[in-house]
């Protein structure tokens, strides 16, 4: 089986044990980390579609996600490179009520690769934890909030509101993203920046920091 297809099959089949070898084999065969990420993205999207069609259970979606996370961790050093500059801190987290973190982690890797120090608050992050982090890192000028569920868009908006109510809105630029977020939704909730993917989030943050 061609190397890239092996990666897709490992993710779709939740083959945790073979993903490292499959990713390393694809790298050795000359595939770029970006090509591999694209294949991984297609595979996990198909997993989501199968879940939606009731063809697989949440447990199977979880193992596929763990497999993808392991594959991304093999790619991490390749995606990183040497940052060109020190661009300051970036607070990042998945919004309260939401446990999806693969996309958020990719945003973190890309931000680090362009020179940010990422303060990763993890998943299911309440507004109070974002506020606490901004207060702790007074030199941090950017905050990113990720959401993957349409049902957590409300919590995302409440997080933006809470940062404003805490009097911290002028201190930070707020980035939002994730599958259910659009430019229009981001504007309505009062965020500063919406980007559709991890690479554009890092590119935009870098331009704003320079
Ligand atoms: Co969930 N899940 N899930 N899930 N899951 C989705 C999101 C879903 C679309 C699947 C489906 O039905 N087709 C659906 C949401 C429907 C909706 O709300 N419209 C769904 C559901 C329903 C659920 C549960 C409710 C299922 C249940 O329990 N019945 C449950 C909710 C749990 C919770 O969060 N409270 C649930 C659970 C899970 C798992 C735990 C099993 C697992 C997550 C594991 C993990 O992340 N550690 C999981 C998975 C894996 C998925 C799918 C299959 C894949 C998500 C993913 O990692 N994509 C997903 C289906 C899909 O996406 N097609 C699905 C790959 C990742 C690279 O893409 O995260 O979109 P993404 O990130 C992109 C961009 O969005 C962007 O950059 C990334 C790419 O460069 N981006 C940002 C993301 N954050 C950003 C922030 C930015 C900027 C860009 O700035 C700050």
97 and 190, same domain (yes or no): yes
> Could you read off the pLDDT of 65-95 as tens digits, one per residue?
999 999 999 998 888 766 656 899 999 999 9
pLDDT at 180 over 90: yes
User: What confidence score (pLDDT) does residue 82 get?
Assistant: 63
51 and 105, same domain (yes or no): no
Number of structural domains (the chain) is 2
User: What confidence score (pLDDT) does residue 210 get?
Assistant: 85
Which of 80, 112, 129 is the last residue in one of the domains? 80
How far apart are the CA of 148 and the centre of ligand 1, in A?
5
Q: Which of 29, 109, 113 is nearest to 21 (CA)?
A: 29
114 and 12, same domain (yes or no): no
Tokens in use for 117? Answer: 């120090």
User: What confidence score (pLDDT) does residue 131 get?
Assistant: 98
- What phi, psi does 88 have (nearest 5°)? 100, -170
130 and 71, same domain (yes or no): no
User: What confidence score (pLDDT) does residue 169 get?
Assistant: 96
What is the mean predicted confidence (pLDDT) over 183-198?
Answer: 97
Output the pTM of the full model: 0.94
How far apart are the CA of 119 and the centre of ligand 1, in A?
21
106 and 16, same domain (yes or no): no
How far apart are the CA of 170 and the centre of ligand 1, in A?
30
Domain of 148?
86-209
* Helical packing angle, 58-80 and 19-28, nearest 10°: 40
């Amino acid at each position: 089986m061609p190397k890239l297809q092996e990666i897709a099959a490992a993710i779709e089949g939740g083959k945790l044990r073979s993903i490292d070898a499959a990713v390393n084999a694809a790298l050795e065969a000359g595939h770029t980390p970006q090509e591999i990420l694209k294949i991984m993205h297609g595979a996990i999207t198909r997993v989501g579609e199968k879940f939606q069609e009731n063809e697989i259970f949440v447990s199977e979606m979880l193992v596929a996600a763990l497999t993808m996370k392991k594959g991304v961790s093999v790619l991490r050093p390749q995606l990183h490179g040497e940052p060109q500059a020190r661009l300051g801190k970036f607070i990042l987290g998945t919004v309260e009520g939401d446990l999806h973190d693969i996309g958020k982690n990719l945003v973190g890797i890309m931000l680090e690769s362009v020179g940010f120090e990422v303060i990763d608050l993890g998943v299911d992050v309440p507004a109070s934890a974002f506020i606490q982090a901004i207060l702790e890192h007074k030199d941090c000028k950017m905050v990113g909030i990720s959401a993957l569920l349409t049902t957590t868009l409300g919590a995302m908006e409440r997080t933006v509101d809470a940062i404003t109510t805490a009097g911290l809105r002028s201190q930070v630029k707020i980035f939002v993203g994730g599958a259910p977020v659009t430019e229009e939704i981001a504007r309505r909730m009062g965020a500063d920046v919406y980007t559709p993917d991890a690479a554009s989030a890092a590119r935009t943050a870098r331009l704003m920091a320079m």
